[in-house]
Structure 1
Amino acid sequence: MAQENDNTYKMLFSYRRMVSDLLTGFVREDWVQELDLSTLEKVNASYVADELRERHDDLVWRVRWGEEWLYVYLLLEFQSTVDPYMAVRMPAYVSLLYQDLTRQGKLTDKGLLPPVLPVVLYNGEPRWSAATDVDELIERVPGGLERYRLSMQYLLLDEGQILEQETSTELKNLVHALFRLEYSRNEQDLIKVLAQVVEWLKAPEQRGLRRAFLTWFRRVYLRRKHVPEPDRELIDQAQELEEVHEMLAERVDKWHEHWRQEGRQEGRQEHAVETLLRLIERKFGPEAKEASRARVERAAIGELEMWFDRAIDAERVEDVFSTD
């Protein structure tokens, strides 16, 4: 599932509007103001190192910077768990990219390599704690050897931390909206943000990105929620994000009632399992309890109640589960 989530994110960031909003909303450095965002262009990210090792899963963009035609490549790495050695991986990826640019002769007017902005987009639950510069992972040594230390920093976008520290929830930024959808506290927050996304992407030329958000909703959000099957099927059949928004607004209260009933049923089920296992242990011993556990935990509530009634009078544990 993690790989599918990554693919869904990569689909979203295959659109110029998402990369533009990422740069203007989350790279708070002066040079971003000099970018001509209308020139953003996705380039082939399948580059080959001298050892013929291929990478096909990067997203790389280029954009004009200032008056000269310079390249800024964005490597977007999508992580859902903290990788303590991400700072080692990123220089390797950038080196592969530079090798490819050198082979193709895609250098600046001065014959130099273009700048690269490596970005890690992280959506995991624990806050990111790994080093953001490979220099931090290399042992310090005395003498002149330290001058040869490798150093390269990547830009970390920790979604949860960004939302914890935000001062405004009204930013007209699709990347910010994506983060809020990902971490929506309740369905009402989700409906509000989804309405904003629908409004911002209502133009006909944004249809592809609307579909990408619709795919995200199906593959990421719905898999976290026990949405009633009829509504899940309707969402799967929806052709537009606006249809999903309208459906949520109309049906979310029914979903809450469905979840409350599920919770009560699960509580009743768990209580019945534990009660039956305690009775088996008292009558037939700990070994019989452990031998019966897997079967009891898989049983429906009706079977559990029937087996409990049998266990009261049974002389052997086998009689509890007898099919005669």
Structure 2
Amino acid sequence: MAALFRLENSRDAAAIQRILRHLTDWLHAPQQAGLRRSFTEWLRRVLLPGRLPDITIPAMQELQEVDDMLAERVQEWYAEYERKGLQDGMRKGMAQGMEKGRCDEARRILLGLLTHRFGPVSPEVEAQLQEADVATLEAWTLRVLDARCPEDLFND
């Protein structure tokens, strides 16, 4: 009975697996075949559909089959989570790389315009350009036409 309550309170497939392994060991005797089948049927029809709604639960006769099915599913889920994590990481990395590229290009253009118009810029101006984001660099680029000196870009 305690195993039944632990199964009902389990949070994930790995916890269910641990309890199932304990149950399989505990109910291994041939005279407990009926109880094993009852547990298996309850797992298949009640517990697993409620805990794992996204998977189709095949017909099973023994607790070991449930354990095997869960072990296979858990491996598939880990592989899927890993794949999704890699995809998300790549997507975020590409977005960050593109943003950095846009920022570097905006900085390069603004520095070129400043140098063309005013000559070499001071280290202080270069430092401000290095710290600015793309939107700020683009706004400053528009101010180059009206600026009397590079420092005018930074005055709102």
- The structure carrying a bigger helix percent of its residues is 2
Structure number with the higher strand fraction is 1
Greater gyration radius: 2
1 or 2 for the larger relative contact order (CA 8 Å, sep ≥6)? 2
Range class of TM-score, shorter chain: 0.3 to 0.5
